[in-house]
Structure 1
Amino acid sequence: MTAAVEHDQVYAIAEEVFSAMIDGEPGYLRPWDGELPVAAEPLVAWVDVHGELAGRAAVTTDLETAHELTRALLGMGADEPVGPEDLNDAFGEVANVVGGNVKALLPTQGSLSLPVVATVLPEVPGTSLTHELRLDWRGRSIVVVVWLFQ
């Protein structure tokens, strides 16, 4: 997947997803400057791409940021509580759209798994990290990664 998808393309996908789905306008997502903070309550959402070129696209952040993403995506109020179903649906959808756009750049189309949301990204033997984007969304850290299955 690394030869088929460039770093700048993954960044452009993340930028487009956030501006179209979450913020309603561009400019709120940019590269992270400095060391990433350690998330007290990490959360990750991912989808797997199956086909000739197979891999995984994942979005990682902390629980509080995932709640903010959910509120923004679902048009909820700033203090409105986020339930587990809304969190899984919204945060999973962010990973789903990022993964779907990465898949669309591949020379041959495969299939996309349903999104999974968990506290840790499980390791898959024989994978290699091809892209890691450390991003700043409204002062909050978000990491987008793309893995190649071998």
Structure 2
Amino acid sequence: MSVDGEVLAELTQAVWESFVDAELPLVDLYGAPLDPGPDGVVVGTILIHGPHAGRINVSLPAQAASAAAARMLDMAPGDVVEADVHDATGELANMIGGNVKAMLEGEHHLGLPSVTVAPTDPYDAVASATLLWGEHTLLVTLETAPGGTS
């Protein structure tokens, strides 16, 4: 698999700039831990099926996920509801996953995005990127399925 933390950060930065915030770029924190904030973490996940089976997780503190949803959906921050946060977070995972999939050798396809409070089953991390958006951090991970290849 040719995706490492630096590539994952670059792909995430490109998606973020195009769909969330072109004015305030993401800053790579080079693996610093995610600060979950006082309201927990929202995790958008997309499964990758194929020779390099795995998943992409996009983890954002709830406050950051709400702010990103407002920007993506061109809404006032106070108008964002939980469904908007889930839609936006799932779509971020989907777009980043699509870019990762394009870099993998062999035929791969993506599952449907899902949004949870935290990942629930064990996968092995292959690459991760912790990024800063203003005062918010986000963590993007590429993980292989148990027994998957990397």
TM-score of the aligned structures, taking structure 2 as reference length: 0.87
Q: Deviations over 1:104-145 (max 9, x none)?
A: 100112110111101011123xx3101121110112010000
Structure 2: gaps of 5 or more residues: none
2:26 aligned to 14, 26, 29, which one?
29
Where does 1:50-129 land on structure 2 (aligned, <5 Å)? Answer: 50-77=49-76, 79-124=77-122, 127-129=123-125
Identity %: 26
Q: Quick one: which amino acid aligns to residue 46 of structure 1?
A: T
Aligned mates of 2:137, 2:72 — CA distance in 1: 17
Structure 1: gaps of 5 or more residues: none
Q: Aligned residues, how many? A: 144
Cα RMSD for the two superposed structures: 1.7
Note the C-alpha offset of 1:23: 1.0
Does residue 129 of structure 2 align to residue 133 of structure 1?
yes
Note the C-alpha offset of 1:35: 5.2
